[in-house]
Amino acid sequence: NYMGEVKIDGKNPGGETNAYVSYQPDHLPVDPSLKIYKLGKLYGNFFADFKEEKFIKLIEGFGIDKNQKIKECSKGMKEKIQIALSLSRKSKVYLLDEPMSGIDPKSRKVILQTIIDNFDYEGILLISTHLIGEIEKVLDRAIFIDQAKIVVNERVDDIRENKNMGVEEYFTEVI
């Protein structure tokens, strides 16, 4: 059992922080019979910073039919939809939890490039992942957590220079 607390800008997560944190959970918490474009309208009602046009553009860029029902989508398609939802907000913090775990290796490069091209650079992007090698080249900082404790919190450039290894190799050595 691990205990702790999370503060966002000094506040507990909730209604107030939801206004400026774009969080991608590990599942779509909506009615599966909903059509994808309706999901965009729903998010537009919940989040003032959500851009429906951007969402549709991202969905189409992923080659997904916006008229399809969520229950008709594969796991990989659902993850792409969640990424599109998260990136269609203008947030201070983007928190993506394992955004590419259900996506085939070929699509991961497209997903990563979509994330890089579409998150608001005035904000901060946090990605939790075990696919370190896939995202290593775009990281500024790496934080390794083991047994609910932060064991590494370093700039990626410092890891490369001081340890003479990449982030994934260092992760393997430390954890």
**What pLDDT is stored for residue 104 in this prediction?**
84
Percentage of the residues of the chain whose pLDDT score is greater than 90? 63
| Amino acid letter for position 31 | D
Torsion of CA 14, 42, 37, 111, to 10 degrees: -10
Q: Give Cβ neighbours of residue 42 (< 8 Å, ≥ 6 apart).
A: 30, 34
- Domains of the chain plus CATH, in order, are 15-138 (3.40.50.300)
Per-residue pLDDT at 134 exceeds 90: no
Q: Average the pLDDT over each of 22-31, 42-51, 81-90, 91-100 and give the range with the smallest value.
A: 22-31
Give the containing element (helix H, strand E) for 153: strand 149-155
**Mean pLDDT value across residues 6-16:** 90
Mean pLDDT of the chain: 91
For 34-89, how does the pLDDT look when each residue is reduced to its tens digit (9 = 90+)? 999 999 999 999 999 999 999 999 999 999 999 999 999 998 899 999 999 999 99
| pLDDT computed for residue 51 by the predictor | 97
Per-residue 3-state assignment (H helix, E strand, C coil) for 2-68: CCCCCCECCECCCHHHHCCEEEECCCCCCCCCCEHHHHHHHHHHHCCCECHHHHHHHHHHCCCCCCC
Task: Please say if the pLDDT value at position 161 is more than 90.
Answer: yes
CB 169 within 8 A of CB 156: no
pLDDT at residue 75, as a whole number: 87
Whether pTM exceeds 0.85 = yes
